[in-house]
Structure 1
Amino acid sequence: MKKVLITVTNHTTLGNTDQVNGTYSPELTHVVNVFKEQGVDFDIASIKGGKAPIYGTDIEGDEVNNQVLADEDFQTMINNTLPISQVDISEYDAIFYPGGFGLLSDLATNETVAALAAKHYEQGGLLAAVCHGPAALLPINLSTGEPLLSAKSVTAFTREEEIDFGTINDIPFLLEEALSRKAARFSKVQPWNELVIEDDRVITGQNPASAHAVGVALVKQLQG
C-alpha cells in the first residue's frame, strides 16, 4: 500500500495577528478523502508534533469536510501529529502540504523539514501542495545546492485571492511573489477557479477549489 506523509503547520494564527488560523481544513480533508477512497495510507506530521491547529471546520454544505472531520481516526491523527524528528521518510512515497496561512510562519522557512523533503524527492518521492502549501517548497535545496523550485513550474494562492479574502495586509509575505522569484515559472487562473500543475514529481494546486484535484493527481502518480 502506498503511503503519504501529510505535513501540517504548528502556527496557530494568521501571521503575527491574533486571528485564529493553522491548516485550512478543506484543503486537508478533501485530499484525505481521496486517499481513503483510493486505498492510500497516510500519517500526519508537524515540526513540533502534537495537536495541530485547523480552521474552516464549520463550512456549511461541505459534506466531505464534515465527514472526514467526524472520523475518529482522523481526529486522533490531527490531535497527535508525529514530530518531524521522529519521521522515517523512507517509509513514505509522497509528501503532501495542505494550505492555510499558518505554514507561512513555520514550514515556509523550516530547514529541517526542507532537508527531509529534499532527501525524499532525490530518492524518487513525490511532493504535492495546495493553496499556501507550496510555501513549504521554498526552503527545499537539492544536494546540488540548487533550489528545488529553480527548475519547476508551480501555482499557489494568488495576490488577487489574498485581496478577495481580505488577508493581503496581514500575511507574513506574499506567496505568489516569493514563488515567482524562485520558481522557473508561476502560473495562475482567475481567482477561485481550479488549477493543478504537475511538473514531473512536483504537484501544486492554486486554491481550496483545487484540493480535490491535487489529491487525484497525487494518487494517479502514486499508482503509476
Structure 2
Amino acid sequence: MTAVLFVVTAADHWTLADGTRHATGFWAEELATPHRLFREAGFDVTIATPGGVTPTVDAASLAPEATGGSDQADAIAAYLESIRADLEKPVTLEEVDLDAYDAVLYPGGHGPMEDLAVHAASGRLLTAALDSGKPLGVLCHAPAALLAARREDGSWPFAGYRITGFTNDEETAAGFADKAPWLLQDRLVERGADFHAAAPFSEHVVADRNLHTGQNPASSARLARNLIDVLNRR
C-alpha cells in the first residue's frame, strides 16, 4: 500500500514581533482535506510531529468564515474527529524512517512558523525527501519548514526551486503582516527561492521536479490530487 507521511506542527502558538503569543496550530482544512483524499485513494497516512506531541488545531480554522460556510466547517471538524486516535498519538518526527514512505506532506497553519522553521530534524527529513525524488508536498505556511533545511556545505537545498506559499498580500489581509517577526514570502525569496504568487486566497499550486507547493487553504485539494496523480503513475 502507498504510504504517505504527514509532518504536522506541534506548536500551539506563534510568537509575534512584540513577544506576544498568538494562539494557533495546524490549519484544519490543510490537514483534513489531503488526509481524506489520500485515504479515499487507498493510501495509508501516518501523522508525525516534533517530539510526538499531539498537534493543536487552530480554532480560527474551524470557523465558518474560514471554511466557506458552516456545513463545510462541520464536515472538516467531523473528519478530524474521525481520525482523533491518529492525531492524539502521532509518531515522533525525530524517529521517522523516510524509507517507509512513498511521499511526504507538510500541512500549514501559523504553527510551522514557530517550530518547523527552526527544527533541525525536520530540515534533514525535507532535504532527504527532496534528494530521494519522492513527491514532497508543502502547503500554505508550511514552506517555513523549508528554511530549516541545510546541506553539509551550508547551502539551502531549495535554492532556485519554483515555490509558492502564503503570500505577503495574504498575510496583510489576514491582519498579521505588521505583527509578524518575519514574512514567509520574503524569507523564502531571501534564501533563493523562485517564489510564484497568485491572487490572494485563490487556488494556486506550483510543481518543480518532485517539490509541490500550495499557496493557501484553497489549494489543499488540488495539491493533494496532484500528489495522488504522481503516486498513481509510479
TM-score by length of 1: 0.92
Q: Distance in 1 between matches of 2:9 and 2:90?
A: 10
Q: Is the 8 A contact 1:52 1:80 kept in 2?
A: no
User: Given residue 165 of structure 1, which amino acid in structure 2 is its aligned partner?
Assistant: A
Q: Is the 8 A contact 1:97 1:133 kept in 2?
A: yes
Q: Distance in 1 between matches of 2:91 and 2:45?
A: 12
Between Structure 1 and Structure 2, how many residues are aligned? 222
Gapped regions of structure 1 (runs ≥ 5): none
Q: CA deviation at 1:14?
A: 2.6
Greater percentage in helix? 2
User: Given residue 70 of structure 1, which amino acid in structure 2 is its aligned partner?
Assistant: E
The 3-state SS of whatever aligns with 2:14 is coil
Q: Distance in 1 between matches of 2:24 and 2:192?
A: 27
TM-score by length of 2: 0.88
Q: Is the 8 A contact 1:154 1:183 kept in 2?
A: no
Which residue pairs with 1:28 in the alignment? 31
Which residue pairs with 2:76 in the alignment? 65
Which residue pairs with 2:67 in the alignment? none
Q: CA deviation at 1:84?
A: 1.3
Q: CA deviation at 1:113?
A: 1.2
Q: Distance in 2 between matches of 1:148 and 1:79?
A: 32
Q: State yes or no: 1:110 paired with 2:113.
A: no
Q: Distance in 1 between matches of 2:75 and 2:96?
A: 28
When the two chains are superposed, the root-mean-square deviation of aligned CA atoms in Å is 1.7
Which residue pairs with 2:224 in the alignment? 215
Q: CA deviation at 1:156?
A: 0.4
After superposition, the Cα gap between the structure-2 partners of 1:144 and 1:124, relative to the gap in structure 1 and judged at 3 Å, is farther
The 3-state SS of whatever aligns with 2:117 is coil
